[in-house]
């Protein structure tokens, strides 16, 4: 089956937002005399409906009511400080350029809000590379539910067997596979230790394999 489209996760796949956000919350915890449990934080990577709420957890640890707006503002401040010199993750620009050259459609399927995703895409000047951008507001259920991927396929007018998904988290891989896509896991330092075994292929970065070579590999593996 010929590959016609690519669907990318956003956080931790196109831009390393996940590491800086985790470190921002680590800083918030430590300023209040506590440590942020890494294993609990990992449960919310790739989804907006995870079982862990750092604000509630920290409030229980301190025994004090915490102001969500105040801590959200601190998170944004610490995030900006940590990402002042941030760049796209390795291989992203080349994959987008090669996708255009190959005539492949491209989309983003993200559990984050559109304002967050678009802010970063516009900052790096790559928003026009995508034919569709699906975010949390576009669906009733985010990852690991497959709805984001299903909507992306609809927007691109392609089928699941014609599409490759790129994900960095367990929740994202579950969503992509539930929607029937061939899924490539590309973990970042924060998600590298997660169970990503349900992905069809794992790459250490998008620089590991050229897009034309990857497409040939997937087309050979897909039923004709």
- Active-site annotation holder among 11, 16, 168, 200: 11
What distance in Å separates the CA atoms of residue 127 and residue 9, rounded to the nearest whole number? 14
Dump the DSSP string for 3-31: --EEEE--BTTTB--HHHHHHHHHHHHHH
Tokens of 171: 């929740």
Tokens of 183: 């899924």
Of residues 93, 87, 71, the one with CA closest to residue 21: 71
> Is 67 in the active site?
no
- Active-site annotation holder among 9, 16, 145, 168: 9
> Is 9 in the active site?
yes
Chain-centroid distance, C-alpha 35: 25
Chain-centroid distance, C-alpha 148: 12
What distance in Å separates the CA atoms of residue 115 and residue 84, rounded to the nearest whole number? 19
Inter-residue contact 171 to 144 (CB < 8 Å) = yes
Cβ-proximal residues to 4 (8 Å cutoff; 6+ apart), any chain:
104, 105, 156, 158, 162, 163
Q: Kindly report the three-state secondary structure assignment for every residue of 155-210.
A: HHCCCHHHEEEEECCHHHHHHHHHCCCEEEECCCCCCCCCCCCCCCEECCCCCCCC
Residue numbers annotated as active site: 9, 11
């Amino acid at each position: 089956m010929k590959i016609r489209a690519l669907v990318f996760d956003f956080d931790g796949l196109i831009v390393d937002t996940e590491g800086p956000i985790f470190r921002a919350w680590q800083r918030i915890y430590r300023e209040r005399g506590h440590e942020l449990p890494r294993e609990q934080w990992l449960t919310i990577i790739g989804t907006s409906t995870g079982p862990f709420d750092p604000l509630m957890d920290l409030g229980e640890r301190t025994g004090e009511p915490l102001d969500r707006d105040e801590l959200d503002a601190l998170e944004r401040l610490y995030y900006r400080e940590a990402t002042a010199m941030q760049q796209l993750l390795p291989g992203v620009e080349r994959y987008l350029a090669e996708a255009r050259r190959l005539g492949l459609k491209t989309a983003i399927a993200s559990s984050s809000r559109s304002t967050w995703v678009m802010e970063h895409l516009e900052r790096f000047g790559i928003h026009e590379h995508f034919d569709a951008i699906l975010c949390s507001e576009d669906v009733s259920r985010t990852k690991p539910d497959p709805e984001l991927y299903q909507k992306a396929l609809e927007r691109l007018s392609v089928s699941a067997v014609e599409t490759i998904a790129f994900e960095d988290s367990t929740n994202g891989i579950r969503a992509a596979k539930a929607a029937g896509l061939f899924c490539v896991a590309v973990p970042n330092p924060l998600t590298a230790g997660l169970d990503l075994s349900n992905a069809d292929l794992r790459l250490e970065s998008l620089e590991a394999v050229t897009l034309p070579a990857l497409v040939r590999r997937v087309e050979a593996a897909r039923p004709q």
